[in-house]
Each structure stands twice: as C-alpha cells, then as structure tokens.
Structure 1
C-alpha cells in the first residue's frame, strides 16, 4: 500500500500549485479512455502514484470518469481521494458508485470521509452513512460548520485513562493498534471524556513501567472548541508554535484534534479567498471554471466596476471645456489614475492582511493612520516632482508641470488614506474587509485624482494654454 499523506495537506499542496503539472502518463490514461480502451487505461492508472491517479480522474468529464471508475477497486480509490482538491472532489465524488464509495471511505480518515459526504447529494450521503462501518466517527463531523474547528478536526486519537500504569498503557495501545492523526501524543481523559492532560509517546515508552499516567501527563495546554472559527484556531496554533490542538465540546470533553497540516490548508484557503475578494471574485473560481459559471460569477462585480468607472468619467466630463482648450492634459490622466490606484491597493492589501491576522484595532488604527499620511505626503512629493518635471520638459510648459505635480501629491495622500479607510469602513458595516476593496479604492483615487488635476488645470488654464 502506498503511503498516504494527510488529506488536507495533500490537497492543499496540489491546490496551491506547489506540485508539478500532470505527467505525460496522466494524459496517456485520459487518451486511452477517450479512445474506449478502458482496460488499458485502468491498467495504466493502477501503476501511477495516487496523486497522478487523482489528476487523471479530474481531467475526465463525467461520463468518461464514471466508465473508468467502474474499473477501479475501492482500495485504489481510497488512496487517491486525499489528493483531490476540494473543487475536484465536488466533481469526482458524485460519479462514484455508492457501494464503491462506502468501501473506500472505510479506509480513509474520518475527516476526509466528511469532506466526501459534503460533496455528494444529501440522500446519497445518508445511504453511505447507513452502510459505513466508521459512521460513528464521520457523522459527528458533519454536524459542525465547515469553517469551524469542529468541521476540520480529526476524531482519531490515542486516548487513555489516568489510572493506567505506563506498562499497561503500552499494552493497551499495542492491542488497539490505533491509526491516530497525531502519532506522538497520548491524550489523558477521565471517565466522562474530559481532557486532563497529555503525554508524549516518547516519554511514555521510556517511563518507569509502574508509573501512573496521571503522574506522567503534562498539564492541559492551549485548546479550541468545536464552534471556534478555523481562522482563530490557526492564530492559536501559530502563536504557541504547536503542531496540534485538542478540540473540546462545550463540556470540556475531548472530541478530536486539528493539526498544523489541516490549518496550513485553511491558511491557503483564507489567503486565496482574500486575494479573490479584493477583485470581486468568488473564492472557488479557477481558470478552468466553465465559461457560463465564470461569467455568472464575474459579471456582477464587473458591472459594479463599470458603474464606478462612469462616476470617474463624470468628473472628467465636468472639465470638458478645459480639456478642449489643452488636449495635452488628457495625456496625464492615466498616469494620475494608475499611480493613485496602485498606491491605494498597496495600503489596502496591508490593511486586509493585518485584519486577517487579528492585528487591527482602534489603537492600531491611530498608529497607522498618521504613518500612512506621512508616507503619502513624502511619496507624493517625490513622484509629484518627478512627473511635474517630465510634464514641463515634455510639453515645454512649466505651469502644466505644476498642475500635474500638485495633483500627483494630492492623489498619493488620498490613495493612502482611502486604501486604509475603505477596509475599515467595510468591516464596520459587517462586510468582509477584502470584499472588492480594489473597486472602491481605485474609484476614489480616480475621481479625486482627476478632480485635483483638472481642477488645478482649470484654475491655471490661462497660463497653461
């Protein structure tokens, strides 16, 4: 049996694009399926690494995938399932025959089983649970929100009572032959399942044989509850430098554990989500998303962007007579807009990251607001002088240089302020601070940048003209 990496880590690595592109052997399998050589395709698939097997299934369409799945045994399916990304799992899992899926899930961690059941229709999931031997481990995971610590925890643990001696504990573990998610820690609980402490497996092995576990166990460290948000669990894990966090129910009973591998995947998902939302994308989109789905998800935000673009255009239209007198002014409009938009998005990105890490509070705002104002003024002076000199030399007009330079200074200051304030305002309104912030920031910098530049040009029109 090929060694299987933890499901969350395997899928996060592939989902992040950290692995290699599908090998030629994967495309050979796909080609054989296309030509109807299913027996040959199945034989080729059997010889591939589970990650490549997952790539091959994900590359096929539904009908072709079902034909190949019919020739895969449940053991092979169990090994490749951890290497499917969440998006791929949603397409592959519904194509698997329920008896085959049930047998495969009996060989996989309960955490992955819950992910798979979330990806298939509810009626099918209920049928699988009715026949799944480890349903008692999987079903509780389905009762928690996907974004909570309970939704990502693994229930497979090494758990013992405090009264056992070290030698007895090792005998119990050998007899049980567990397959825990955390393999270097034994958790100590009372008769009610309440967590009392933990023992490193190394300490247990080398402890005096008759020493009671209560005398060996370490005090309870950081823990999380089943309803805690997964981002908060990630912060605790990072703060204390842990590789695993016990998950407790409301009564303090140990119900599972969430590991650094799980939370690595969460960190990637949250980072991707924030990155997507900055530009108004839904977080499960990819370049391979079907055209109709991509259009349905992208068009609403693009329409909003179009509306804000018209607002910026209205500012320009208000100075139509000024532009008519000095057409050269139009040359500098994209420079003002581009520089302001980029400066604003730099600040917005830093602000959204600080909020995601829990660093942003009122004290932090009072600290960074003057700082960003100073940065905007200094960078505005620098770029204002630069673009002002270019405008002067290029158009042989010093007053045009004055107008564009002063406008650049004002735009850079405003860009820093709006880049910081817009995420704060969105969070204050109860919205995700990353939600399409780029649209609002660029609109604000465009409108005010155009107003500064064209307004100054109108005031100096006699000298510029």
Structure 2
C-alpha cells in the first residue's frame, strides 16, 4: 500500500462506518481546497455519503472546491433533504454554474427543492449569455441605504455578513435599487459612528453592464485593481457583483483556451480523453495543415529545375522557412496576448502590423547575416550567401507582418484571434521562405553555379 492510499484509508473507513467524528478529524483540520483534493479521490457515492454524515452545512466549504464532474455525480446520490439543504446553502453563482451543467430532468428536480425566490434568482442567472457579466456575477452582496448612519450600517453588515460572499465593499442604492455609491469596510470603521453613509460614500462608482463581455470586465477589474465589480442593468439598478476569484478563473480559462487554439487544439481534448475523441478533435486541423503544407510543397516544385542544377539549395531552403516560422510565432504570441488584454485599439492596428514588420526586418538582417556567413564558410559561394541573407530579410518581414495581421483580422471577423492563427502564419512563412530563397536563386542561378 503506497503512502497516498495509507492516508486515504482513515477517510474511507470513516465513510464506511459513518463515523462523523473521524471524518471531521480527517477533513476539517485541512483547508477546504486541500480537503477537496482528498475527497476527489473517493467515488461520488462515497463523497455523497460523507456529505450525509457530516451534514450539508459542514460539507459545503469542501464541496464547492470539488471539480464540477464530481459535484454533478455526487448530487445524484444525495438524499432529498440533504440535497435541498446543500443547494440552498451554495452561493448563487456557484449554484447556477453547477445547475447549468446538469441534464434537464435532474435540473427540474433541483429547482423543485428551492423556495420560489431562490428558484427565480437561479433561473434568471441561467438566462444570461454564457460569456456575459451576468453569467459570472453573484447576487450575494452587501447592501446599504444612503440615509443610514455608520453605526446602523455596521449593525446591518453584521447581520448580512453570514449570507454574503464578501463585505469588503458595501453598495449603496436608492429606492429604485439604482447604484448611487460605494463604501468600503475600512471607510466604515474609520468614520464617526453618527456620520451618514451619503457623507462618506464614494459617488463616482465604476460598474459594468450585465450583458458586457466577461473578458472586458476582467480587463477593467485588472485595470482598476478591484476586488469586486458591481453589475448593473440598463436602468442602472444593481443586480449583482463579480468577485476577483471569478475573474481569476476567467483569465485562467482564457489563457488555457488561447494556448490550446494556438496549438490548433480543442479545449475539450484532455490527456484522459478516449483515443477516438482525441482523434476526432485533432484531425480536422491536421487536415487543414496538410492542405497548407501541400501549398508549400507545390511552391518548391515550381523551382525543381533550379534545384536540380544546384542541389545544395535543397539543404539550405528549410533554414529560411524554419526561422521565418519561429519569427511568425513570436509576433503571433505577442499580438494575441495584447488583444486578450485590450492593449490594441482599433485605430492603432496598422501601427502594430508595421512595428512587427520592422522587428522582422531587423531580425532578418541579423539572422540573415549570421546565416549568410555560415553559408559562405560552408560552401565558399558569395552569391549563395547574399541570396540567403536577402531571402531571410524578406521572409522575416512577412513573418512579423502576418504574425500581427492574422489575429487582428480574425478579431475583426468576430473570431477568436488564436483560432488557427499558427497554421496560417506558418504556412505563409514556409511558402514565403521557399519562394524568396528559390526565386532569388533562380534569378542569380548563373552566378551561383559559376562560383559553386
């Protein structure tokens, strides 16, 4: 028995015997995230048994850290009352995310367990577009009125705190629930007890619209360094807040998605995916890549006579194409990141393309000079060295320009800028590298052969 199984045995034994005290000793002394890692090694039926034994209230903190798949499977093994209590205690945004993943019949079962107000709140959260602020917000926020005193506000926050996700900020609304101000817990503690909230609140509140794209919300939260961002509807009424932990999850998901797309992979493809599924997800882009490779191959075939007259060209042309591909990937990565962070504005796109082309020119001149020198020392042919240098410059310019242009065009077409970009850029640099090098070699073939 390995060390991990040895550590898990008391937990499994406690679940099997229904020993509440043993389970609490095994789990509650850990941070909920660490405890969730241990529970995730149990079967969903065992996790459900754990929840039943310790109770929904104690189990909730750990349950919310479990992966969605385990959460979903665990729910099906819970008794009706425990299920009702667990779902009721969950934060609104976490509950909505979980319920959204369930099949329709089980979703209806869960909805029937909630009281009307909670059910309506959940259904409303589920109606927002997947990538909107509304889909990520929570309706658990601290609320205050402008006319209350600081002393009254602190008393209200003590009552609200157990049910709210965060009380670092309290949001001030008017009679129509329109957001008119914000006050931090620090401001409340520092203020005089008899001061009114409207005297100390910050009135110039920055908020986002409920339908705003979550990536834009993430950029604003990072820009303003907010722990939470208020979300309002078309009338300016406060409908929820987005906390930094949710935005961190969004940024992680987007970074992962961009990484996958740059490698032309579907985000559903995992190391544990069945072989047929991985093949199905990867094959389409590989076939597209095959098509672009055929274009590069056809370009080479156009210069077959040139290559036959000076065979050394065949060994050198992959160098130009390969370095161009790497340069294109560098520009592509920089631009995709800038687009994701909102650093590129619509009016400045051509300057970005020109800047990357200029970088390509400089790198092409440098790398071409080194490669030309190596070529001369290798083959003692000054014309061949000069052609290598010129081809490298031309291809690096193309690589830099297209590495910037392709993701920008995809963004303008309302597509993910990372989608297929690497294939298109690599295809262009491969084809361009072969064309520039072999084209120049064809123009100066007599001189190359004469000095060869």
- Give the match's secondary structure for 1:286: coil
Per-residue CA deviation, residues 339-387 of structure 1 (Å, 9 max, x unaligned), is: 0011111111122222222232354224333333332222211111111
Per-residue CA deviation, residues 265-285 of structure 1 (Å, 9 max, x unaligned), is: 212212222222122222343
**Matches of 2:368 and 2:306 in 1, distance apart?**
21
Q: Where does residue 155 of structure 2 map in the other structure?
A: 171
Q: Where does residue 82 of structure 1 map in the other structure?
A: 64
- Give the match's secondary structure for 2:64: helix
- Give the match's secondary structure for 1:83: coil
TM-score of the pair, normalised by structure 2: 0.86
- Whether the 8 Å CA contact 2:209–2:232 is kept in 1: the answer is yes
Is 1:448 aligned to residue 432 of structure 2? yes
Shift in alpha-carbon separation, 1:432–1:456, aligned structure 2, 3 A? same
Please show how residues 61-72 of structure 1 align to structure 2 within 5 Å: 64-72=43-51
Q: Where does residue 124 of structure 1 map in the other structure?
A: 106
Is 1:47 aligned to residue 26 of structure 2? yes
Shift in alpha-carbon separation, 1:214–1:126, aligned structure 2, 3 A? same
Q: Where does residue 286 of structure 2 map in the other structure?
A: 302
**Matches of 2:5 and 2:168 in 1, distance apart?**
36
- Whether the 8 Å CA contact 1:157–1:181 is kept in 2: the answer is yes
- Whether the 8 Å CA contact 2:15–2:49 is kept in 1: the answer is no
**Matches of 1:458 and 1:365 in 2, distance apart?**
36
Per-residue CA deviation, residues 124-171 of structure 1 (Å, 9 max, x unaligned), is: 122112213544543332221221111111111121222323333333
Please show how residues 103-118 of structure 1 align to structure 2 within 5 Å: 103-118=85-100
Shift in Å at residue 38 of structure 1? 6.9
Please show how residues 320-335 of structure 1 align to structure 2 within 5 Å: 320-335=304-319
Shift in Å at residue 102 of structure 1? 3.5
**Matches of 2:165 and 2:15 in 1, distance apart?**
36
Shift in Å at residue 107 of structure 1? 2.9
- Give the match's secondary structure for 1:106: helix
**Matches of 2:97 and 2:220 in 1, distance apart?**
24
**Matches of 1:25 and 1:165 in 2, distance apart?**
55
- Whether the 8 Å CA contact 1:94–1:120 is kept in 2: the answer is no
Shift in alpha-carbon separation, 1:148–1:318, aligned structure 2, 3 A? same
Please show how residues 169-208 of structure 1 align to structure 2 within 5 Å: 169-208=153-192
Shift in Å at residue 328 of structure 1? 2.1
Farther off after superposition, 337-346 or 211-220: 211-220
Please show how residues 257-406 of structure 1 align to structure 2 within 5 Å: 257-406=241-390
Farther off after superposition, 203-212 or 256-265: 203-212
- Whether the 8 Å CA contact 2:146–2:196 is kept in 1: the answer is yes
**Matches of 1:267 and 1:425 in 2, distance apart?**
23
User: Which ranges of structure 1 fall in alignment gaps of 5 or more residues?
Assistant: 1-22
TM-score of the pair, normalised by structure 1: 0.84
Per-residue CA deviation, residues 64-98 of structure 1 (Å, 9 max, x unaligned), is: 433553444345652233323xxx41354134325
Taking only aligned residues, the RMSD between alpha carbons, in angstroms, comes to 2.9
User: Which ranges of structure 2 fall in alignment gaps of 5 or more residues?
Assistant: none
**Matches of 2:35 and 2:102 in 1, distance apart?**
20
**Matches of 1:115 and 1:121 in 2, distance apart?**
13
